[in-house]
Structure 1
Amino acid sequence: MDNIAGRKPALGWAVNLSVIFIVLLWIFPTVGLLVSSFRTADQIASSGWWKAFFPTEQTEQVRTSDPDDTRIETDDGTFVVEGSFYGEEGGPPISAWGVSSRDVSAYGPGDTADMGEGENLTLLEDGSYTWTGNDDQISGRGQRVFVTAEVPPEFTLDNYDSMLFGRGNDNISKAFFNTLTVTIPATIIPILFAAFAAYALAWMDFPGRALLIAFIVALLVVPLQLALIPLLKLHLSIGIGKGYLGVWLAHTGFGLPLAVYLLRNYMAGLPRDIIENARVDGATDFQIFVRIILPLSFPALASFAIFQFLWTWNDLLVAIVFLVDSSGDTTVMTRHIVELLGTRGGNWEILATAAFVSMAVPLLVFFLMQRYLVRGLLAGSVK
């Protein structure tokens, strides 16, 4: 009686928890990149993205003003330098400070640091300071001070402005359009070829059809890395070389087995009566394909389009082999991010912004078409 239809399984709660865990595991990195892309470099270095909406303590190194220009000699022969680390605009209240990197929180606001031989430094909570000493001490560069303050959360659009509209290597807009130039044709072309092939394999009788289907299924397990170098040599020998045409053909060839297999299973599951009635009415195979099969196969077409778009958009290996040239005019986003990682490895705010810009379009495509995903994947699995 435990397997009666309609009764909830005993381990249903475990399935629900597993789904929630997988969803959270997928969401957390995405949200982290989104939040980090709006933060400054100091905030990213001082705290994790989950603390972005709360005040955080940050320690930074500052220096007093140039003593040779601002010092004042007193009646007893000592020199005094007064000023503020924050200037007229002010800043967050200082909670601790120090004059040595070994102990950056040695003193509190209002304390005086004795640096020996009569040299002293007093720092107040608002950032104003008083530095006193003799002629030799109050000269040269300003005194180095480590200041710890509780900084309120701060978000900025400067990262996106630099990535999308700035100049130099940080600008990712050209790579963005290069990626669209690769991805859109590389998604449409295999769908066009696979749709015709799937219809022929599903509804047209010809010798060797079963063997051809088995061969296509076998191609699904062939790793694309085996074909990269031979295919590149073929492109170079026939004059295609490295360019958009070569990468379109490569993505088309690598995506066709899955496309044909997926669409053939879906089309084979369509009602036979519709096809036979259309043939009785005198419709040709091309008319049946265009007017009946394609509209009914939209869920499967959309399902494959999602997979192909995500694969080509996030691809790096095929783009490096068939597209990248010395000038960099055809650099795609994945390659551009790798270059940023090498040249701007310490600028996490730039890398986070570039990564999220790269993820934004695939996420948009997935959420707009995800309702067709399950319908297309389950096509032909049940009758």
Structure 2
Amino acid sequence: MTLASSAGPAPATPPTHAPARPGPAASHPPAGSRLARRAGGILRSGAVQAVLVVVGLVWLTPTVGLLVSSLRPGAQEDSSGWWTAFTHPSTLTFSNYSHLLDNGDITHAFWNTVLISVPATAAVVVIAALAGYAFAWLEFPGRDAVFLIVVGMLVVPVQIGLLPVARFFGAIGIFGSIYGVILFHVAYGLPFAIFLLRNYFAEIPREMLEAARMDGGSEWTIFTRLILPVGRPALASLTIFQFLWVWNDLLVSLIFADSHSQPLTVALQSQMRQFGANIDVLAPGAFLSLIVPLIVFFAFQRHFVEGVMAGSVK
């Protein structure tokens, strides 16, 4: 008999369990995502959607009223409101627009508005994009000081510079011309444009620019092939803001434009002053002035929404 057999069976040892590895912690969605889902659920509710529809209809009422008034004969405007046209739609006519287009002053003012708005918008976007890239990613003496001066110009009201700039334009011979109106809009649109684009371009990861430089890309190549495509939402937002401001401007044009360079807003204002309640001219002219900014907005709408939402979701 062996020693092991005389000693009897060995006592069973309790199974040893390996220390439990800490499993992945229960993933709790961040507070921002929970709030977003909760807000999305609220917005999907029928009551909220009904309220939004009502708000949208109220918001569109002035535009619809202007459109209907522009299609009504002038004699009916003195006897009934524009909403009565829905009960007699046969009274609506495009004769007001044909008369408006036959008005040489209005058509000339419309093309003046185009000649002012397009160059003023394009110049601001191009110059601000170049300056925003320089302030964000290029090193040069006095960069921060110059940028602070640009930011400080944001608080200068436009009314302060009207008379001094008007005297300066008169001294150099461009007061009363389209060039003077364009230069004023460009000068006062650049501070906000540079501030907006510089902050947007500064959010671009540095690694992207360094990789482009390591591949041999010049600063101009980086700007045109990398910065501009990435910054397209901000550029679209700036284009919309600048175009709407210049197209709808009245104050600057009243001071810097003469009878040959006045835009559509000034021409409509003079029509109101001369003829009083000639709604058959003012209504189609105002709607014509409204429809062009709407076309521009819907053309850039997708990029504009991207620019507004940029940075809101990490």
What range describes the TM-score normalised by the shorter chain of this pair? 0.7 to 0.9
Q: Deviations over 1:47-81 (max 9, x none)?
A: 222221214xxxxxxxxxxxxxxxxxxxxxxxxxx
Q: 2:264 aligns with which of 305, 319, 333?
A: 333
Q: Which residue of 2 aligns with 1:49?
A: 82
Alignment match, 1:357: 288
Q: Is the 8 A contact 2:253 2:263 kept in 1?
A: yes
What does residue 142 of structure 1 align with?
Answer: none
Judged with a 3 Å threshold, the aligned counterparts in structure 2 of structure 1 residues 250 and 18 are, in CA distance, closer, same or farther, namely farther
Contact 2:132/2:198 (8 A) holds in 1: yes
- Matched AA of 1:46: S
**What is the CA distance between 1:344 and its match in structure 2?**
2.3
Q: Show CA shifts across 1:302-338 (max 9, x none).
A: 11111111111111111122222xxx22121001101
The equivalences for 1:1-383 within 5 A come to: 4-5=34-35, 7-9=37-39, 19-20=52-53, 22-55=55-88, 153-166=90-103, 171-324=105-258, 328-379=259-310
**Distance (whole Å) between structure 2 residues aligned to residue 21 and residue 165 of structure 1:** 39
Q: Report the Cα offset of residue 212 of structure 1.
A: 3.0
TM-score (norm 2): 0.81
Looking at secondary structure, tell me which structure has more strand per residue.
1
The letter for the 2-side match of 1:286 is W
Distance 1:21 1:367, change over 3 A: same
Cα distance, 1:286–1:7 mapped onto 2, change above 3 Å: closer
5+ residue gaps, structure 1:
56-151
1:343 is displaced (CA, Å) by 2.0
Q: What secondary structure does 1:372 align onto? A: helix
Residue 61 of structure 2 aligns to which amino acid in structure 1?
F
- The C-alpha deviation readout for 1:17-63, integer Å capped at 9, x for no partner, is 775455334311111111111111232222222221214xxxxxxxx
For the 8 Å contact 2:74–2:278, the answer to whether it is kept is yes
| Deviation of 1:295 (Å) | 2.0
Q: Counterpart amino acid of 1:160?
A: Y
**CA pair 52-256 structure 1, distance change in 2 beyond 3 A:** same
More helix by share: 2
- Between the aligned residues of both structures, percent identity stands at 45
The answer as to whether partners of 2:116 and 2:182 remain within 8 angstroms in 1 is yes
Residue 376 of structure 1 deviates from its aligned partner by 2.1
**Which 10-residue stretch deviates more, 185-194 or 37-46?**
37-46
Choose between structure 1 and 2 for higher RCO, CA contacts under 8 A separated by at least 6 residues: 2
Check conservation: 2:234, 2:304, Cα contact below 8 A: yes
In the superposition, relative to structure 1, how do residues 340 and 42 fare at CA in structure 2: closer, same or farther (>3 Å)?
A: same
- Give yes or no for contact 1:269–1:379 (8 Å, CA) kept in 2: no
- Contact 1:269–1:380 under 8 Å retained in 2: no
Aligned length: 280
